[in-house]
C-alpha cells in the first residue's frame, strides 16, 4: 500500500495517547519545582519523588512537546565524541566515569520500566559504530582501545564487516547491551509514577523569570507564582543564562526520516557511523511493517536553508546501505544541544545554588538526561554522587576551549546580518504558508503569511541577545543562528535560551 502523505511529525507522535494536564491557576508552594516535562524533567521528578520530595513539574507545552518527542531514542553509551576524544578532553578517569555513568543510565531506564510496568517497547541490543567510506580502520582501533580503557571491555572490532539480515555493512565496533525504546510511551509511564507518588504536573504554564533567593520564585506569563526550596531547569537550554550556558552549548538541527521496510528484514540494532556529521540508525516496529529510522545531516541552528536536500541525501544514504528500504513514511527534525567536551552540563548553577540545570545532552539525550536526573536528585538529597564533578556546569573548558572560541567567533559573525537587507524586499513576495525576514537593521521584521494568506509580523530580533532570526521553511519556525533559540511561525518561543516570544513588530 502506497501512502500519499509523508508524516512531518516524528514517528513517536503517531498514535500515542499522552496524558494532558491543566495550567497552574493559583500560586503554588512546593519543595522542588522542575521546569520541563521532557525526559530530563520527568526523570528528575521521578527520582526526587522516589526520595520522598514533594515535586511539581511545569511546562509551557504538552508532555514531551519538545525535543524528547523528536529524538530517535537510542539508549546508549556510544558517545558523540567517542571515547578516544573524551579521554583527550577529560582524561582517563573522566572517560571511565563517562562510560560508567552511561551504562548505569541504561540500567536505570531498564529498572524503571520494569518497576513501573511501562509499556514503551524497551529492548536491549548491540550497537555498532561503522566506518564511513574514506575513513581508516585506525579510527575504529583507536576507539576500541579507548573504550576498553574506559571500562567497556566487551567492545569488539569486527574488521571484516557486519551482517544484519541480508545486508553486509562495513567494518565496525560492536557495543553490547545498548537499548532503544519509544520515548513518549516512556514519559507516559513516568507521569503515572510521579502522580502515584503525590507529584503534581502542570502544562501550558510558561515560566518567564527565575528569582533565586533562599526560596526560589518562578514567575509565569499568566500570573500564578511558584515558590520552591529548589528549582531544576530541564528545559533543553536553561531559561536563566546565569553561567553563560549559551557560550558552552552549541545547538544544531538534525534531520530524521523513517522508511518502510518489511517486518523482520533487519534485526533490532542501533548504529552510528564515523562520518562528520554522523548518521544514526535504528528500527521501530509498526503494525504491518517495520520502520528504518535514519538521522543525520546536522547543521548549526539557523544557518542552513536547504532542508529538502538534506532529507533527500538521508534517503539516498539509507537506500544505499539498506536496499530493502522503501518509501519515506516520516520526516522530522530536532534540535541537539552539543557541549564543548561532548558531555552534558548537570548540577547547581553556581550563581544560584538552589537552582539546578540539566542541559547540553548532545545526541544521546536519553542517557545524558537520565544521568542528569540521578545526579541532581542525589545533590538535592545531599547524597554524594560519583559523577557530579565530571558533569558540573561550571567545569573548566580545558581542551574544549578551542571549540568555545571558534563557536564564539561564529556567533559574532551572525551579527553582521544586522547590516544587511532582509530575505525579500517586500512582504508581498511571501507565499501562503511561508515566512521571510523583511527590512533593514534593528527594525527587521519576521513576517509569516499563514495558509489563509493573513500576514503576521514580529520583530526579527531574538529576545535572547538580539541576533536576527532565520526562517526554517521545513519546520515552519524562526531559528536563531546565534545560540539556537527557536520560535514558532507566530513568534512564540519554543526553545531557549530566549526567555520570551518575539516582540511585536514596529509599524
Ligand atoms: S539565542 Fe542568543 S541571540 Fe538568539
Please indicate, yes or no, if residue 205 is contained in any of the structural domains.
Answer: yes
Best CA proximity match to 153, nearest among 162, 145, 165:
145
Q: Are residues 433 and 485 in the same domain?
A: yes
Pocket test for ligand 1, best of 414, 497, 499, 500 (most atoms within 8 A of CB): 497
Position 242 confidence tier, pLDDT thresholds 50, 70, 90: low
- Tens-digit pLDDT profile for residues 303-362: 988 999 999 999 999 999 999 999 999 999 999 999 999 999 999 997 888 999 999 999
> Does residue 408 contact residue 449 with C-beta atoms inside 8 Å?
no
**Calpha distance 497→492 (Å, rounded):** 13
Is the pLDDT reported for residue 258 higher than 70? Answer: yes
**The last residue of a domain, from among 330, 363, 395:** 395
Q: Which DSSP string corresponds to 100-133?
A: HHHHHHHHHHHHHHHHTT--S--EEEEEEEEPPT
DSSP state of 482: T
Please indicate, yes or no, if residue 470 is contained in any of the structural domains.
Answer: yes
pLDDT score for 74? 95
Residue 327 C-alpha cell reads as 518509501
- Tens-digit pLDDT profile for residues 48-102: 999 999 999 999 999 999 899 999 999 999 999 999 999 999 999 999 999 999 9
Position 253 confidence tier, pLDDT thresholds 50, 70, 90: very high
pLDDT score for 7? 66
Atom of ligand 1 nearest to the CA of 481: 4
CA–centroid distance, residue 14 to ligand 1 (Å): 32
Pocket test for ligand 1, best of 301, 477, 498, 501 (most atoms within 8 A of CB): 498
Residue 64 C-alpha cell reads as 514531551
Atom of ligand 1 nearest to the CA of 496: 1
Q: Are residues 444 and 365 in the same domain?
A: no
Position 5 confidence tier, pLDDT thresholds 50, 70, 90: low
Pocket test for ligand 1, best of 446, 461, 467 (most atoms within 8 A of CB): 467
Residue 380 makes CB contacts below 8 A (sequence gap 6+) with 32, 48, 51, 53, 230, 232, 356
CA–centroid distance, residue 35 to ligand 1 (Å): 20
Position 396 confidence tier, pLDDT thresholds 50, 70, 90: confident
Q: What Rg value do the Cα atoms of the chain yield, rounded?
A: 22
pLDDT score for 2? 39
**The last residue of a domain, from among 324, 339, 354:** 339
Position 6 confidence tier, pLDDT thresholds 50, 70, 90: low
Q: Is 383 helix (H, G, I), strand (E, B) or coil?
A: coil
> Does residue 187 contact residue 38 with C-beta atoms inside 8 Å?
yes
Question: Whole-number mean pLDDT of the chain?
Answer: 93
Position 3 confidence tier, pLDDT thresholds 50, 70, 90: very low
Q: Are residues 166 and 48 in the same domain?
A: no
Please indicate, yes or no, if residue 140 is contained in any of the structural domains.
Answer: yes
The length of the chain is 507
Q: Does the CA dihedral 424-425-427-430 come out positive or negative?
A: negative
Best CA proximity match to 112, nearest among 53, 45, 54, 15:
45
Q: Are residues 153 and 176 in the same domain?
A: yes
Q: Are residues 197 and 48 in the same domain?
A: yes
Please indicate, yes or no, if residue 112 is contained in any of the structural domains.
Answer: no
Report the percent of the chain where pLDDT is more than 90.
Answer: 79
In terms of pLDDT, which residue wins out, 240 or 438?
Answer: 438
Query: Which residues lie across from 254 on neighbouring strands?
Result: 334
Please indicate, yes or no, if residue 484 is contained in any of the structural domains.
Answer: yes
Atom of ligand 1 nearest to the CA of 497: 1
- Tens-digit pLDDT profile for residues 155-211: 999 999 999 988 899 999 999 999 999 999 999 999 999 999 999 999 999 998 999
Please indicate, yes or no, if residue 5 is contained in any of the structural domains.
Answer: no
* CA-nearest residue, atom 1 of ligand 1: 483
Atom of ligand 1 nearest to the CA of 484: 1
pLDDT score for 273? 94
CA–centroid distance, residue 96 to ligand 1 (Å): 35
Q: Are residues 84 and 159 in the same domain?
A: yes
pTM listed for this prediction: 0.94
Per the structure, the count of domains in the chain is 3
> Does residue 229 contact residue 31 with C-beta atoms inside 8 Å?
yes
CA–centroid distance, residue 462 to ligand 1 (Å): 6
**Calpha distance 150→168 (Å, rounded):** 29
Q: Are residues 335 and 346 in the same domain?
A: no
Residue 273 C-alpha cell reads as 557511523
From residue 20, alpha-carbon distances to 35, 222, 360, 400 in Å are 16, 19, 27, 41
From residue 424, alpha-carbon distances to 427, 429, 436, 450, 506 in Å are 7, 7, 7, 17, 18
CATH number at residue 451: 2.102.10.10
CA triplet 364, 36, 243: central angle to 5 degrees? 75
Q: Are residues 310 and 235 in the same domain?
A: no
pLDDT score for 1? 37
- Tens-digit pLDDT profile for residues 210-237: 998 889 999 998 889 999 999 999 998 8
Atom of ligand 1 nearest to the CA of 498: 1
CA–centroid distance, residue 468 to ligand 1 (Å): 8
CA–centroid distance, residue 464 to ligand 1 (Å): 5
> Does residue 493 contact residue 446 with C-beta atoms inside 8 Å?
no
Ligand 1 site residues (CB inside 6 A) read 246, 462, 464-467, 480, 482-485, 497-498
Please indicate, yes or no, if residue 228 is contained in any of the structural domains.
Answer: yes
Strands 172-180 and 74-75: antiparallel
CATH number at residue 328: 3.30.9.10
Pocket test for ligand 1, best of 250, 418, 462 (most atoms within 8 A of CB): 462
> Does residue 24 contact residue 224 with C-beta atoms inside 8 Å?
yes
Is the pLDDT reported for residue 295 higher than 80? Answer: yes
CA–centroid distance, residue 66 to ligand 1 (Å): 18
Q: Are residues 25 and 143 in the same domain?
A: no
CA–centroid distance, residue 481 to ligand 1 (Å): 7
* CA-nearest residue, atom 3 of ligand 1: 465
Pocket test for ligand 1, best of 413, 464, 496 (most atoms within 8 A of CB): 464
CA–centroid distance, residue 32 to ligand 1 (Å): 28
In terms of pLDDT, which residue wins out, 8 or 372?
Answer: 372
Position 399 confidence tier, pLDDT thresholds 50, 70, 90: confident
CA–centroid distance, residue 461 to ligand 1 (Å): 9
**Calpha distance 23→199 (Å, rounded):** 15
Is the pLDDT reported for residue 378 higher than 80? Answer: yes
Q: Does the CA dihedral 382-198-345-463 come out positive or negative?
A: negative
Please indicate, yes or no, if residue 97 is contained in any of the structural domains.
Answer: no
Q: Is 388 helix (H, G, I), strand (E, B) or coil?
A: helix
Q: Are residues 386 and 461 in the same domain?
A: no
The HSE-up count of residue 468 (CA atoms within 13 Å, CB side) is 25
Mean pLDDT of 235-255: 85
pLDDT score for 62? 94
Q: Are residues 261 and 322 in the same domain?
A: yes
Domain boundaries, position 467: 416-495
Q: Are residues 262 and 329 in the same domain?
A: yes
Q: Is 373 helix (H, G, I), strand (E, B) or coil?
A: helix
Amino acid at each position: 500500500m502506497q501512502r500519499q502523505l509523508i508524516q512531518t511529525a516524528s514517528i513517536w507522535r503517531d498514535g500515542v495517547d499522552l496524558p494532558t494536564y491543566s495550567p497552574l491557576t493559583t500560586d503554588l508552594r512546593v519543595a522542588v519545582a522542575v521546569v520541563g516535562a521532557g525526559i530530563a524533567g520527568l526523570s528528575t521528578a521521578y527520582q526526587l519523588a522516589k526520595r520522598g520530595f514533594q515535586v511539581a513539574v511545569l511546562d509551557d507545552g504538552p508532555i514531551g512537546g519538545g525535543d524528547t518527542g523528536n529524538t530517535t531514542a537510542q539508549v546508549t553509551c556510544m558517545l558523540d565524541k567517542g571515547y578516544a576524544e573524551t579521554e583527550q578532553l577529560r582524561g582517563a578517569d573522566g572517560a571511565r566515569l563517562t562510560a560508567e555513568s552511561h551504562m548505569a543510565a541504561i540500567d536505570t531506564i531498564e529498572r524503571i520500566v520494569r518497576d513501573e510496568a511501562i509499556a514503551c517497547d524497551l529492548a536491549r541490543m548491540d550497537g555498532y559504530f561503522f566506518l564511513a567510506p574514506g575513513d581508516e580502520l585506525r579510527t575504529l582501533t583507536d576507539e576500541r582501545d579507548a573504550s576498553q580503557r574506559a571500562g567497556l571491555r566487551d567492545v569488539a572490532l569486527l574488521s571484516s564487516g557486519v551482517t544484519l539480515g541480508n545486508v553486509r555493512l562495513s567494518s565496525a565496533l560492536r557495543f553490547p547491551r545498548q537499548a532503544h525504546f519509544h520515548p513518549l510511551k516512556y514519559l507516559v509511564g513516568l507521569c503515572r509514577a510521579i502522580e502515584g507518588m503525590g507529584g503534581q504536573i502542570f502544562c501550558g504554564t510558561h515560566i518567564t523569570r527565575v528569582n533565586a533567593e533562599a526560596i526560589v520564585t518562578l514567575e509565569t506569563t499568566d500570573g500564578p507564582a511558584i515558590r520552591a526550596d529548589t528549582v531544576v531547569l530541564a528545559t533543553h537550554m536553561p531559561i536563566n543564562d546565569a553561567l553563560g550556558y549559551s557560550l558552552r552549548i552549541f545547538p544544531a538541527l538534525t534531520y530524521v526520516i523513517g522508511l518502510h521496510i518489511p517486518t523482520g528484514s533487519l534485526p533490532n540494532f542501533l548504529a552510528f557511523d564515523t562520518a562528520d556529521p554522523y548518521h544514526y540508525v535504528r528500527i521501530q516496529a509498526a503494525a504491518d511493517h517495520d520502520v528504518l529510522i535514519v538521522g543525520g545531516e546536522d547543521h548549526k541552528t539557523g544557518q542552513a536553508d536547504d532542508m529538502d536536500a538534506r532529507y533527500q541525501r538521508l534517503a539516498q544514504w539509507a537506500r544505499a546501505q539498506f536496499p530493502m528500504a522503501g518509501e519515506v513514511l516520516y520526516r522530522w527534525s530536532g534540535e541537539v544541544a552539543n557541549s564543548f567536551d561532548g558531555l552534558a552540563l548537570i548540577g547547581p548553577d553556581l550563581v544560584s545554588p538552589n537552582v539546578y540545570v540539566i542541559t547540553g545532552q548532545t545526541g544521546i539525550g536519553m542517557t545524558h538526561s537520565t544521568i542528569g536526573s540521578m545526579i541532581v536528585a542525589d545533590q538535592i538529597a545531599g547524597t554524594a554522587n560519583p559523577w557530579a564533578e565530571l558533569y558540573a556546569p561550571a567545569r573548566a573548558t580545558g581542551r574544549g576551549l578551542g571549540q568555545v572560541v571558534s563557536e564564539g567567533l561564529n556567533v559574532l559573525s551572525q551579527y553582521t546580518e544586522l547590516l544587511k537587507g532582509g530575505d525579500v524586499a517586500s512582504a508581498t513576495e511571501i507565499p501562503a504558508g511561508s515566512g521571510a525576514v523583511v527590512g533593514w537593521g534593528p527594525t527587521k521584521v519576521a513576517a509569516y503569511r499563514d495558509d489563509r494568506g493573513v500576514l503576521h509580523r514580529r520583530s526579527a530580533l531574538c529576545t535572547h541577545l538580539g541576533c536576527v532570526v532565520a526562517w526554517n521553511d521545513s519546520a515552519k519556525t524562526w531559528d536563531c543562528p546565534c545560540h539556537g533559540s527557536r520560535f514558532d511561525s507566530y513568534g512564540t518561543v519554543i526553545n531557549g535560551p530566549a526567555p520570551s516570544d518575539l516582540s511585536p513588530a514596529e509599524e
